[in-house]
Amino acid sequence: MHEFEWGFLIVNYLFLGGLSAGLFFVSALASWLQQREDSDYSAIARAGALLAPWPVALGSLLLIFDLGNWWRFYKLFLHFRWQSPMSIGSWLLVVFTGIAFANCWAWVPADVKRTLLARVKLPEAWAGFPVNARILAAIGFPMSIGVAIYTGVLLGAVQARPFWNTNLVAQMFLFSALSSGCAALLIALSLRRQQLDSIQLRFLYTIDVCLISLEFFIVLPYLIHGELSVEAVRQSLALVLGGPYTVAFWVFFLGIGLLLPLAIEVWELAPAVFSGGSLHHNRRLTVLTAALVVFGGYMLRYIFVYAGQSSSFH
């Protein structure tokens, strides 16, 4: 038997799917918080909406090419099997990707829409669709949470793999996905010529600090309870507590992918929260921190996909 049936394509897909879910999640939040069309939040909502559909679309392609018979992927949509997380997930992915693309189109400026439509010779009336981006955001919001959770459930539902078979994996993947999306927005908005203003930075940092903290508080009980669990679970945890994935887990995921960016973001936010001062506004540091968060999200998928498949009952 091959030890790893699922490899890097699956790692990348789980990461990209989660990234899109996070982008949409933050964009939808910002879209509902914005007061006027030109408010501080609308830049976040727009950037999130424009970016959200692409990673998941790429990830879905990877998923299809990972199949033994990729041209049979349509069979996924001839069935709905509620007991199979993969079946539920494929339907969720399609619905979510559709909404994300519609939402993306809704945020494209009207004149750009008309130019694009004219170039591909499509009716100009399509520029008016969809009418209300906030409704799309509201429909897509639970879908984005669903996509982010399901990537964890896909692994967590496998009783044969003790490393995966806990409800904590789904939550860990959820918060990791959402924070990756939030961090990706920090990068995207920082790379623009126009500087991020304090309200935008504070919004993104606050969300990210909350999400990373939640993720950390799930990783902790995952380790503690695993150690207090049955023999098979303890043996599987040895993969990260003195096994082949120890460095990846402690240094690259937990260290520089989670706690270090959390510390930097808290340091950035602290003066604004506690003394009413302003943020540090260091563009390079923001990009670096956010890149670490995204990297941590990728490492989490890598460790779980590979370590999980190595774990088993003996």
Partner 1 sequence: MKNEGKRYALAIDSRKCINCKACVVACRAENHVPLGHSRNWINEEHRGSWPKLFASFEPEQCHHCANPSCVRVCPTGASYQRADGIVMINEDECIGCRYCIVACPYGARFFREDTGVVEKCTLCAHRVDRGEAPACVETCPSKARIFGDLFDENGPLQQVLSTREHRVSKPQTGNSPQIYYLF
Helix (H, G, I), strand (E, B) or coil at 284: helix
158 touching partner 1, by CB under 8 A: yes
Q: Which of 37, 38, 83, 121 binds partner 1 (CB under 8 A)?
A: 83
In the complex, the smallest distance separating the C-beta of residue 313 from partner 1, rounded to whole angstroms, is 5
Do 278 and 271 contact (CB within 8 A), yes or no?
A: yes
Q: Which of 45, 47, 76, 183 binds partner 1 (CB under 8 A)?
A: 76
211-230: which residues touch partner 1 (CB under 8 A)? 230
9 touching partner 1, by CB under 8 A: no
CA angle 178, 194, 19 (to 5 degrees): 15
Residue among 154 and 189 whose Cβ is closer to partner 1:
154
Cis peptide before 130 (omega within 30 of 0): yes
312 touching partner 1, by CB under 8 A: yes
Do 299 and 252 contact (CB within 8 A), yes or no?
A: yes
97 touching partner 1, by CB under 8 A: no
85 touching partner 1, by CB under 8 A: yes
Helix (H, G, I), strand (E, B) or coil at 192: coil
In the complex, the smallest distance separating the C-beta of residue 91 from partner 1, rounded to whole angstroms, is 10
AA identity, residue 123: P
138 touching partner 1, by CB under 8 A: no
Residue among 135 and 230 whose Cβ is closer to partner 1:
230
Stretch that binds partner 1, among 21-29, 80-88, 186-194, 257-265 (CB under 8 A): 80-88
Q: Please give the Cα distance from 276 to 281 (Å, whole number).
A: 15
101 touching partner 1, by CB under 8 A: no
Q: Please give the Cα distance from 249 to 1 (Å, whole number).
A: 26
Q: What distances in angstroms separate CA 256 from CA 98, 99, 163, 294, one per listed residue?
A: 34, 34, 22, 11
In the complex, the smallest distance separating the C-beta of residue 171 from partner 1, rounded to whole angstroms, is 20
Q: Which of 14, 106, 157, 185 binds partner 1 (CB under 8 A)?
A: 157
Residue among 67 and 135 whose Cβ is closer to partner 1:
67
90 touching partner 1, by CB under 8 A: yes
Q: Name residue, tokens 């402690």.
A: 250
235 touching partner 1, by CB under 8 A: no
End-to-end CA distance of the chain: 15
6 touching partner 1, by CB under 8 A: yes
36-75: which residues touch partner 1 (CB under 8 A)? 66-69, 72-73, 75
Number of residues that bind partner 1 (CB under 8 A): 31
Region of residue 299 (phi > 0: left; psi between -120 and 50: alpha; otherwise: beta): alpha
Cis peptide before 261 (omega within 30 of 0): no
232 touching partner 1, by CB under 8 A: yes
In the complex, the smallest distance separating the C-beta of residue 85 from partner 1, rounded to whole angstroms, is 7
Q: Please give the Cα distance from 253 to 270 (Å, whole number).
A: 24
DSSP letter string over 21-45? HHHHHHHHHHHHH--STTSHHHHHH
In the complex, the smallest distance separating the C-beta of residue 35 from partner 1, rounded to whole angstroms, is 44
Q: Give Cβ neighbours of residue 64 (< 8 Å, ≥ 6 apart).
A: 70, 73
Residue among 39 and 87 whose Cβ is closer to partner 1:
87
Q: Please give the Cα distance from 102 to 129 (Å, whole number).
A: 8
Contact residues for partner 1, defined by CB under 8 A = 1-2, 5-6, 66-69, 72-73, 75-76, 78-79, 81, 83-87, 90, 157-161, 230, 232, 309, 312-313
